[in-house]
């Protein structure tokens, strides 16, 4: 492949995103099957090239790319790391800023967009060697960052519907961490959590006894 002088002097800059959601209370990550060179037909994280004429930051690149390639407006997006070098993309010296994003299960996209042959939701574990470029590494860094944050007490409310029960919240934390949590200990931990707001008189009714519904406090920050 021929690389022009311009490409030699100016690196290719991309944003790549690990978009997580819950399906049947298991953590899943969105993968795209690439349509174009390089790495056609390989599975990868959704991502795309920075457009200085369109984007006012790399965060905006990430949001624009998710919208165009997988039809998603994300609620929450966080930068994980930036990788760089001459060999990670055959088009030349390149930089990727990796993000993770969180999406409630009911907003899961159903259709592939621009430059995408197919989309699929997978368990994010043990994918390291199966993705194009260094996306396996980016995914494992993203998952590690998300887990670290939840382990330190952040509540992954962006994975839940607007209204949720404490059981939903515990399941979301368990899905992220990949471990079961003790119900009593979990309830004590979130007892006075200021980011949770009880919805008076609102309950989830089902076969079991009604469960109190909560919502995120207006100033909630993950």
Say if residue 88 is exposed, middle or buried (CB neighbours under 10 Å; 0-12, 13-18, 19+): middle
Instruction: Compose the 56-75 pattern: x for residues touching its own copies by CB under 8 A, - for all others.
Output: xxxx----------------
Nearest CA to 75 out of 157, 141, 168 is that of 157
Q: Which residues pair with 215 in a beta bridge?
A: 197
By CB under 8 A, the residues from 20 to 59 that bind its own copies are 50, 52-53, 56-59
Q: Could you give the CA distance from residue 161 to residue 115 in angstroms, rounded to a whole number? A: 30
Q: Is 140 in the site for its own copies (CB under 8 A)?
A: no
Q: Could you give the CA distance from residue 80 to residue 58 in angstroms, rounded to a whole number? A: 12
Largest Cα separation within the chain, whole Å, is 68
Nearest CA to 45 out of 110, 130, 159 is that of 130
Among 40, 85, 120, 153, the residue binding its own copies under the rule CB under 8 A is: 85
Q: How near is the Cβ of 81 to its own copies at its closest, in Å?
A: 6
Between residues 92 and 113, which has the closer beta carbon with respect to its own copies?
92
Between residues 9 and 110, which has the closer beta carbon with respect to its own copies?
9
Size of the site for its own copies (CB under 8 A): 24
Between residues 56 and 208, which has the closer beta carbon with respect to its own copies?
56
Q: Is 221 in the site for its own copies (CB under 8 A)?
A: no
- Binding segment for its own copies (CB under 8 A), chosen from 6-14, 18-26, 173-181, 206-214, is 6-14
Nearest CA to 111 out of 166, 187, 30, 49 is that of 30
Among 82, 123, 161, 179, the residue binding its own copies under the rule CB under 8 A is: 82
Q: Could you give the CA distance from residue 194 to residue 189 in angstroms, rounded to a whole number? A: 12
Q: Could you give the CA distance from residue 84 to residue 13 in angstroms, rounded to a whole number? A: 9
Q: Could you give the CA distance from residue 96 to residue 186 in angstroms, rounded to a whole number? A: 37
Q: Is 151 in the site for its own copies (CB under 8 A)?
A: no
Q: How near is the Cβ of 147 to its own copies at its closest, in Å?
A: 14
Q: Is 6 in the site for its own copies (CB under 8 A)?
A: yes
Q: Is 2 in the site for its own copies (CB under 8 A)?
A: no
Which residues of this chain interact with its own copies, rule CB under 8 A?
A: 6, 8-11, 13, 50, 52-53, 56-59, 79, 81-86, 92-93, 95, 97
């Amino acid at each position: 492949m021929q690389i022009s002088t311009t490409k030699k002097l100016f690196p290719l800059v991309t944003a790549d995103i690990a978009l997580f959601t819950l399906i049947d209370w298991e953590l899943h990550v969105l993968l795209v099957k690439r349509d174009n060179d390089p790495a056609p037909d390989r599975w990868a994280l959704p991502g795309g090239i920075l457009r200085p004429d369109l984007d006012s930051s790399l965060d905006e690149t990430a949001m624009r790319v998710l919208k165009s390639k997988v039809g998603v407006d994300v609620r929450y997006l966080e930068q994980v790391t930036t990788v760089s070098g001459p060999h990670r993309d055959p088009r030349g010296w390149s930089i990727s800023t990796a993000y993770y994003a969180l999406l409630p299960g009911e907003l899961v996209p159903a259709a592939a967009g621009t430059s995408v042959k197919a989309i699929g939701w997978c368990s994010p574990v043990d994918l390291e060697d199966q993705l194009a470029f260094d996306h396996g590494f980016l995914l494992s860094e993203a998952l590690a960052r998300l887990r670290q944050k939840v382990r330190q007490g952040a509540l992954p409310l962006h994975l839940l519907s607007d209204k949720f029960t404490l059981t939903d919240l515990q399941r979301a934390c368990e899905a992220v961490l990949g471990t079961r949590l003790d119900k009593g200990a979990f309830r004590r931990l979130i007892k006075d959590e200021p980011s949770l707001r009880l919805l008076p008189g609102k309950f989830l009714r089902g076969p079991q006894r009604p469960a109190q519904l909560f919502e995120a406090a207006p100033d909630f920050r993950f």
